[in-house]
Amino acid sequence: MIAELLRHGETERGGGFRGSLDDALTQTGWQQMRQAVHQHAGWDLIVTSPLQRCATFAAELAQLHGAPLEIQADLRELHFGEWEGWHPRDLMQDQAALLARFWDDPYAFTPPGAEPVAAFRQRVLAVMADLQRRHAGRRILIISHAGVMRLLLARARCWPDRDLLQVEVSHGQLISLHLSENGGLTESSA
């Protein structure tokens, strides 16, 4: 299965730990996503996170291309608990040590009240395995979040767990992965 992954564009509330917050795209965000896919087509299926920063664009694109649309709740971003809505620069005021622990090894430290990264990995990989099982040999566009894409890219690149947050994914970035029958991931050109 070929999975093209598209990160949502810029959102109205800006950066930081947006996680489960349901922010809308800005006009720039819409442009970033449209630009990323403007020379791409032919998807057998479009799969999206339920959050509107992904799902609204996915619905538009599915209609434009006549592709089936599937909403996958488990492709939502990592839930950051008490850090939801905060920007790291603000957390540096009184939680700098905790933030440093998270940046250093997100699998070893979970922010207060947040979803553990290991549980996040488990749910994202379960979705990918299910998609591979149901859509082997097909080309799928997955519209999701930076965390989901970082996780899958780190796995495809065989990076150590602690380097997860070193994977750079920009707004509106499109990447392509090949998923093998045994669950292996390989990065390819989009």
pLDDT of residue 53: 98
Q: Number of helices and strands (H, E) in the chain?
A: 6, 6
Does the pTM surpass 0.85? The reply is yes
pLDDT of residue 14: 82
Q: Which CATH number fits domain 2-188: 3.40.50.150, 1.20.1630.10, 3.40.50.1400, 3.40.50.1240?
A: 3.40.50.1240
> CB atoms < 10 A from the CB of 102, how many?
22
pLDDT in tens, 122-162: 999 999 999 999 999 999 999 999 999 999 999 999 999 99
pLDDT of residue 182: 83
CA 9 – CA 30 distance, rounded (Å): 6
CA 125 – CA 144 distance, rounded (Å): 14
pLDDT of residue 190: 55
Residue 94 to residues 90, 91, 111, 113, 162: CA-CA distances in angstroms?
8, 6, 14, 17, 23
Ranges of residues in the chain whose predicted pLDDT is under 70:
189-190
Nearest to 8 by CA among 74, 76, 62, 71: 76
